[in-house]
Structure 1
Amino acid sequence: MARKTLGELRLQLRKLLPGAVETISYRMPAFKVDGDVVAGFAFFKNHCGYYPFSGGVVPTLKSELEGYSTSKSGVTFRPDTPLPAKLVKRLVQARLAEIATGGKKPSAAKKKALITERVTNSAVKDATGRDWKAWMRALDAAGAAELNHQQLVALVAQEVESGWWQQSISVAYEQAHGKRVVGETATTGFQVGVVRTLPMTAPELWDLLTKQEERWLGPGAALKLEPGKEYEVPKKRGAPGVRGVLRVVKPGQRLRMTWQPDGWKKPATLQLTLVPKARGAALHVHMEKLPDAKAREAMREHWSKLLVKLAAG
């Protein structure tokens, strides 16, 4: 039901924004016009969400959104009760009008603020059932202080379906405990995580990763499932060659390897983790020790696009 509802919403947004670029922003499908994100949507455990990527749009349409669960940043609705087409059109128009009139963008200081300062308590509670304080207490009780980032994300994923919220809650917890600054950590340098649930079982996903490596590593790649074995991805037009060493193989669960494209002085670390879901299997892609913020964003885009491609078959 949720897939059908969001699929129809996506088609409507494409009609309303014919010149927009479809992208992934904050781990959710989104539409960007001339560099500004106009609309995005996501599915959570029990509901869907629509996000105008602005704190000013929803408040201006307060009367039209009466009866819906809203926060300053978005609108949530049940999969079996999609947003009316007229309301979606009004949300898009309001965002476009805001952009056209030069709506204020976040200051540099705000962009660098902690996640708990940028995302309101009501927003996280509406989406996940807990506010920030409740999440901090719950994660402390679960021993999260002893977990690395990937383990922390997996812990949050036991209760939260959305990859964006999984990452946001995990990063917020790390920031609260002094483990992370914005975009970089003391132990792992620049890092990035991308996750998506694919329409296949965990065993099928494992076979794809280990027997069809060209689909995710690139044409010409060959991967031997033995720790210490080197691999190489030939250079092709528009993409550099990549080389690395396989470090960890946990059958059916995890691959960990180094990742060093042409031009990088030092290798990054790439980890792929499979998490079975009620419908399909989630593939968590996590990279650490990236050389800089530019590389981090390039890898975010690379893996986001790849997971979308894998999900489409």
Structure 2
Amino acid sequence: MATKTREPQPIDAYLASLTDPAAKKTLRALRMQLRKLLPGATETISYRMPTFKVDGNAVAGFAFFKTHCGYYPFSGGVVPALKSELDGYTTSKSGITFPPDQPLPVKLVKMLVQARLAEIATRGKKPAVASRKALITERVTDAAVKEATGRDWKAWMRALDKAGGAGLNHKQLVAHLAREVESGWWQQSISVAYEQARGKRVVGETAATGFQVGVVRTLPMSAPQVWEWLTTQPDHWLGAGATLKLEKGSRYEVPKRRGAPAVHGEIRVVKPGQRLRMTWQPDGWKKPATLQFTLTPKPRGVSLVVHMEKLPDAKAREVMRERWSEILTGLAKD
């Protein structure tokens, strides 16, 4: 009887292409661990990196960039929520970098995966009535929160009311919960749930900036190099055929192309090597959003923050999150 051979996967080719022995060994081991943590997950390449997806949701990704490895939970919330556990690592809101010969501890990877899965569970499917179904208490069951934290939602609301939660800001709520709840992710989730329940937080947006999104990458480049990329290669981040003149008040345009609408806007702030702020309005949007790039030099490169405000809805927010994540990941690999 012939032995059935496993068909090569996209990640196989990625790992085979690595020339750094330590990186290859570390990422192969990480892949095997993710397989155990995510049985049945789809293994693919997303944003040019090996990615594990569960029910269509990207849960974990990893890559090698010249001198370091990176782990990415495909979320801007997981890394900040696990800040204390990641002390000592180089992090951004969306990822962790580490030397090829110093793999992430097994326990830490498990925590990152669990936090991402919990985040996806709280998000759930897109509801027909977003203003109601976006509430965390309606998307995370009492059983789930009680199993993880020892109290159901009603008990947490009563406990926080008794502790004077109505008079605490978000940071203070999280600090209060940290005394009893170990998980940073659950600290954040319970705080947000309380704020929503007591009318202290508008679901999905803020009054001042509307729907917003931020993507951060620490790049193995200097600030002048990244600024040069922004100013001389706008077609790489604005779109093919983009025209851009970096002067306050100047207008820019990106022609319509297959699969993407035309975009236009105006330059608002130019601080060479530091910050670029502009409006962003694709065809079909009633009002422009704002787009800002901020560069901050780091010991091993530069932190590039892309932030958008006044987006029209949650769908646009997710589209922009994916767009800028892909662009910055590509820049980091170039």
Given the alignment, which residue of 208, 224, 249 partners 2:270? 249
CA deviation map 1:63-107 (0-9, x unaligned):
xxxxxx79xxxxx998555368xx69x96xx98xxx9xxxx9447
The secondary structure found in structure 2 opposite 1:245 is strand
Partners in 1 of 2:56 and 2:230 — Cα distance? 34
Q: Is 1:272 the counterpart of 2:293 in the alignment?
A: yes
Q: Is 1:202 the counterpart of 2:223 in the alignment?
A: yes
Partners in 1 of 2:74 and 2:221 — Cα distance? 31
Structure 2 length-normalised TM: 0.53
Rate the CA distance shift 1:202–1:10 in 2: closer, same or farther, 3 A.
Answer: farther
Partners in 1 of 2:294 and 2:319 — Cα distance? 20
Q: CA deviation at 1:183?
A: 2.5
Are the aligned partners of 2:27 and 2:62 in contact in 1 as well (CA < 8 Å)? no
Count of residues in correspondence between the two structures:
226
Are the aligned partners of 1:249 and 1:255 in contact in 2 as well (CA < 8 Å)? yes
Are the aligned partners of 1:256 and 1:272 in contact in 2 as well (CA < 8 Å)? yes
**Counterpart residue number, 1:110:** 136
Rate the CA distance shift 1:183–1:30 in 2: closer, same or farther, 3 A.
Answer: farther
Rate the CA distance shift 1:105–1:195 in 2: closer, same or farther, 3 A.
Answer: closer
Counterpart of 2:314, as a letter, is: A
Partners in 1 of 2:26 and 2:238 — Cα distance? 29
Partners in 2 of 1:179 and 1:300 — Cα distance? 25
Partners in 2 of 1:184 and 1:225 — Cα distance? 30
The secondary structure found in structure 1 opposite 2:256 is coil
Are the aligned partners of 2:242 and 2:254 in contact in 1 as well (CA < 8 Å)? yes
Are the aligned partners of 2:43 and 2:50 in contact in 1 as well (CA < 8 Å)? no
**Counterpart residue number, 1:130:** none
Rate the CA distance shift 1:221–1:6 in 2: closer, same or farther, 3 A.
Answer: farther
The secondary structure found in structure 2 opposite 1:20 is strand
**Counterpart residue number, 2:43:** 20
The secondary structure found in structure 2 opposite 1:287 is strand
Partners in 2 of 1:110 and 1:136 — Cα distance? 18
Rate the CA distance shift 1:254–1:15 in 2: closer, same or farther, 3 A.
Answer: same
Counterpart of 1:242, as a letter, is: V
The secondary structure found in structure 1 opposite 2:235 is helix
CA deviation map 1:267-309 (0-9, x unaligned):
1100011111111111101001111111111111111111111
Partners in 2 of 1:212 and 1:22 — Cα distance? 25
Larger radius of gyration: 2
Counterpart of 1:208, as a letter, is: W
Are the aligned partners of 1:180 and 1:186 in contact in 2 as well (CA < 8 Å)? no
Q: Runs of at least 4 residues of structure 1 off by over 3 A? A: 3-19, 21-24, 36-42, 47-53, 76-81, 104-109, 178-182
Structure 1 length-normalised TM: 0.56
Counterpart of 1:256, as a letter, is: R
